[in-house]
Amino acid sequence: MPSPIKTFAAGDMQVHVFSSKREASEVAAEAAAAILRSAIAGRGRARMVVSTGNSQLDFIEALVRARDLDWTAVEALHLDEYAGMAATHPASFRLWLKTRLADRVPLRAMHYVNGDARDLDAECRRYGHLLAEAPIDAGFIGIGENGHIGFNDPPVADFNDPVPIKIVRLDYACRRQQVGEGHFDGISAVPEHALSLTCPSIVGMTNLICCVPELRKAKAVRDTIEGPISTACPASILRTHPRAQLYLDLESASLLAR
Ligand code: GLP
């Protein structure tokens, strides 16, 4: 396995900087696999929450290739989905998870957030119950260009959210990012709402593996590590998690003071 160029603590979180996105993703995937193996060894099963997006592509590819991992003991949930979007839409996070994870490994279960459910409040309640059934051993959590975790953009992020999953309004920066990544033809095509696990749900996961490569994330990474712990940068809350690991490449780490 590749070694990090540097490792340091940011609050309770550990930060690892690698020379490339590929290396960061490979090491993050091995750490993720180790958490899942250990949960299976202890309880006979493991539960994970998977985030999507372009930044997670190398990570998930490395994870599905992990050796000695009994996928039939792993239950997968996801972090967020656009409201009103069919699971067949090319930008759908369900399609991302189906093609990159659920079709590739024999999961015990893949629980999708049905973003196009007729009653989204009922869908939030259903998914909230599912989340509460057992601890989440590992959350694989990306950070958006605006510092979001899940779809908790700065205007809607609440570190004391009373619910596990909610309907959120997406901010302009978040919607623009999705166009920039090539998922939509223009900003008007990006849905205005989504369903997202909330900040307490994310922080409540037993282990967090956060893979955040690329230059476009450099400012969000600086705010996450060096800014105040504030919903102005929702990912800053990750610094309060004692079992959070942040995997960066040289580009995403380029604005850090150390
Ligand atoms: C996305 C999704 C998350 C993801 C994060 C990083 O927009 N809401 O599931 O973890 O933001 O994704 P990306 O790789 O697109 O920057």
- Amino acid 191 reads P
Q: Strand runs (DSSP E) across the chain, as ranges?
A: 6-10, 13-18, 46-50, 74-78, 80-82, 109-111, 138-140, 165-169, 193-197, 207-211, 244-249
pLDDT for residue 135 is more than 90: yes
Residue 140: the pLDDT is: 98
Q: Cα–Cα distance between 63 and 88 in angstroms, integer? A: 24
Residue 158's pLDDT band, with cuts at 50, 70 and 90, is very high
Phi–psi pair at 161, nearest 5 degrees: -55, 130
What is the whole-number distance in angstroms between the Cα of residue 53 and the centre of ligand 1? Answer: 4
| Residue 75 structure tokens | 């239950």
Residue 201: the pLDDT is: 98
Q: Which residue has the tokens 């309880």?
A: 43
Q: Which protein residue's CA is at the shortest distance from atom 1 of ligand 1? A: 53
What is the whole-number distance in angstroms between the Cα of residue 123 and the centre of ligand 1? Answer: 21
| Residue 147 structure tokens | 């510092």
Q: Which protein residue's CA is at the shortest distance from atom 11 of ligand 1? A: 144
Q: Is 181 in the pocket of ligand 1 (CB under 6 A)?
A: yes
Averaged pLDDT, 147-174: 97
pLDDT for residue 174 is more than 90: yes
What is the whole-number distance in angstroms between the Cα of residue 1 and the centre of ligand 1? Answer: 26
Q: Quick one: which H or E segment has residue 132?
A: helix 120-132
- Nearest atom in ligand 1 to the alpha carbon of residue 52 is 9
- Nearest atom in ligand 1 to the alpha carbon of residue 145 is 16
Residue 258: the pLDDT is: 82
Averaged pLDDT, 144-162: 98
User: pLDDT, tens digit, for every residue of 6-35?
Assistant: 999 999 999 999 999 999 999 999 999 999
Q: Is 142 in the pocket of ligand 1 (CB under 6 A)?
A: yes
- Amino acid 9 reads A
Helices (H) then strands (E): counts for the chain: 7, 11
**What angle separates helix 21-43 from helix 57-64, to the nearest 10 degrees?**
50
Q: Is 80 in the pocket of ligand 1 (CB under 6 A)?
A: yes
- Nearest atom in ligand 1 to the alpha carbon of residue 174 is 7
Residue 77's pLDDT band, with cuts at 50, 70 and 90, is very high
User: pLDDT, tens digit, for every residue of 229-257?
Assistant: 999 999 999 999 999 999 999 999 999 99
3-state secondary structure of 135: coil
Q: Is 51 in the pocket of ligand 1 (CB under 6 A)?
A: yes
Please tell me the pTM assigned to this model: 0.97
User: How much is the mean pLDDT over the chain?
Assistant: 97
Angle at 178 between CA 162 and CA 136, to 5 degrees: 40
